[in-house]
């Protein structure tokens, strides 16, 4: 399921959506705050341009809304159903989760966004 060549692989690892050979991000660690969203201009392996057009990644904001909801629901289910917290504590847990995972949420949304437009190309990955 997480194998190279699947969209999920590119989305979860943040690697080039075309060849899956290297990370799109200049810094691998998303918690390198300030550089979380720093993205390379092109893939050095297959020369794919990541920014298809100016402000291409604005669209990722729509995705990050959905991804944020997914994290919030997961946080709520875990705190409320497993740890039996009341609604107020669950709310705090949700907010804390969203803050802590913000860099990851932003990256995942960008990865999903770019994977909607650029598809895996096996011939590129063999070079
Ligand atoms: Zn590439």
How do residues 66-76 score in pLDDT, each as one tens digit?
A: 999 999 999 99
How do residues 83-102 score in pLDDT, each as one tens digit?
A: 999 999 999 999 999 999 99
For residue 91, report the distance from its CA to the centre of ligand 1, in Å.
Answer: 41
DSSP-derived letter for residue 64 is: H
Look up the pTM and report it. 0.90
Rg of the chain, C-alpha, whole Å: 17
For residue 13, report the distance from its CA to the centre of ligand 1, in Å.
Answer: 13
For residue 44, report the distance from its CA to the centre of ligand 1, in Å.
Answer: 7
DSSP-derived letter for residue 21 is: S
Distance CA 9, CA 31 (A): 20
């Amino acid at each position: 399921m997480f194998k190279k060549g699947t969209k999920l692989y590119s989305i979860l690892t943040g690697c080039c959506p075309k060849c899956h050979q290297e990370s799109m991000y200049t810094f691998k660690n998303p918690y390198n705050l300030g550089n979380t969203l720093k993205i390379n201009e092109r893939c050095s392996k297959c020369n794919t341009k990541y920014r298809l057009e100016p402000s291409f990644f604005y669209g990722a904001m729509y995705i990050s809304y959905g991804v944020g909801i997914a994290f919030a629901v997961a946080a709520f289910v875990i705190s409320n159903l497993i740890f039996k917290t009341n609604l107020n504590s669950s709310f705090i847990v949700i907010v804390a989760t969203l803050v802590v995972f913000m860099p990851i949420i932003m990256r995942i949304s960008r990865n999903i966004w770019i994977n909607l437009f650029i598809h895996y190309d096996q011939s590129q990955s063999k070079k």
